[in-house]
Amino acid sequence: MTVETASGPRIDLEEANRRLDGASAWDILRWSVETFGPRLTMATAFGPEGCAILHMLSHVDPDRQVRVFNLDTGYQFPETLALRDRIAERYGIEVELVRADTTVEQFEESNGGPVYATDPDRCCFERKIVPLRRAVVGYDAWISSIRADQSEHRARASLVGWDRKFDLVKVNPLLRWSRRDVWAFVVANKVPYNPLHDQGYPSIGCWPCTRPVAEGETDERAGRWAGQAKTECGLHSLDSSQL
């Protein structure tokens, strides 16, 4: 499949995946920066995977061509926002905060209360998906930190794919890493990470929809939208995006 990016260059996805098959995450990132330059962006929620990529990016993109941003829903943990400052201090990468058009107070007031409690899909859509669509206008590609072993949706992804939801090439440098691989990298390189991970939170999103994983729960995303069928915020769902 060959796709045409926003700025014009055509990318042969099959050829890119053949070229990068077996490549290290470092090499995949390096290819991304060399291929797309300032037309490459990255959204991070400051999970350990994202922080590992930022560590690599600080080396393979010394000129800071790649814009990195965080979708600040207004419901993030204070520890998550504090980690943004630690990343800036360690790597000199200033992660931009991208927000919705309304504050949390305005959003809840206009909807008669917290939307996350009654319609979490809509909450994610309005606080994450809509701002992300605005944030990536004019870019050709974005870096994600998903791993194939995290969920059924993510297992269907490829190293380089076309994200139909956002009309971007999507690069997944850690796709074939395991959770053990991520934490081994974080520890070996002293990568800053969210202290909530040490308190039973393997996966961290917005505070209303995230809880620690209970003893005996093996799914690292079991603490996200617990008790609901929902498992993704929508950014990485493959039913309507990357194929």
Query: What residues contact 25, with CB distance under 8 A and at least 6 apart?
Result: 52, 53, 56, 173, 174, 177
pLDDT tens per residue, range 5-51: 877 778 999 999 999 999 999 999 999 999 999 999 999 999 999 99
Strand bridging mode 2-4 / 10-12: antiparallel
Torsion region of 8: left, alpha or beta (phi above 0 gives left; psi -120 to 50 gives alpha): left
Q: Which long-range contacts (CB under 8 A, 24 or more apart) does 86-91 make?
A: 86/192, 87/46, 87/51, 87/54, 87/192, 90/192, 91/54, 91/55, 91/57, 91/58
| The pLDDT value given to residue 234 | 47
List, in order, residues 6 or more apart from 208 with CB less than 8 Å away.
75, 114, 116, 117
Q: Read off the tokens for 212.
A: 């620690």
CATH code for residues 2-200: 3.40.50.620
The CA radius of gyration of the chain, in Å to the nearest whole number, is 17
Please measure the distance between the N-terminal and C-terminal CA atoms of the chain and give it in whole angstroms.
Answer: 10
How does the average pLDDT of the chain come out, rounded? 89
Looking at the DSSP assignment, which residues form a beta bridge with residue 92? Answer: none
Which pLDDT score is estimated for 230?
52
233 an active-site residue? yes
Three-class SS state of 118: helix
pLDDT digits (tens, 9 = 90+) for 135-193: 999 999 999 999 998 878 888 899 999 998 889 999 999 999 999 999 999 999 999 99
Contact 47/203 with Cβ under 8 angstroms? Answer: yes
- Residue 66 contacts residue 43 (beta carbons within 8 Å): no
Place of tokens 């504090």: 82
pLDDT of residue 213: 84
124 is in an annotated binding site: yes
pTM value? 0.88
Q: Is 51 annotated as a binding residue?
A: no
Catalytic residue from among 52, 233, 235, 238: 233
- Do residues 149 and 155 lie in contact, with contact meaning Cβ atoms separated by under 8 Å? yes
Amino acid at 191: V
How many Cα atoms occupy the beta-carbon half-sphere of 145 within 13 Å? 22
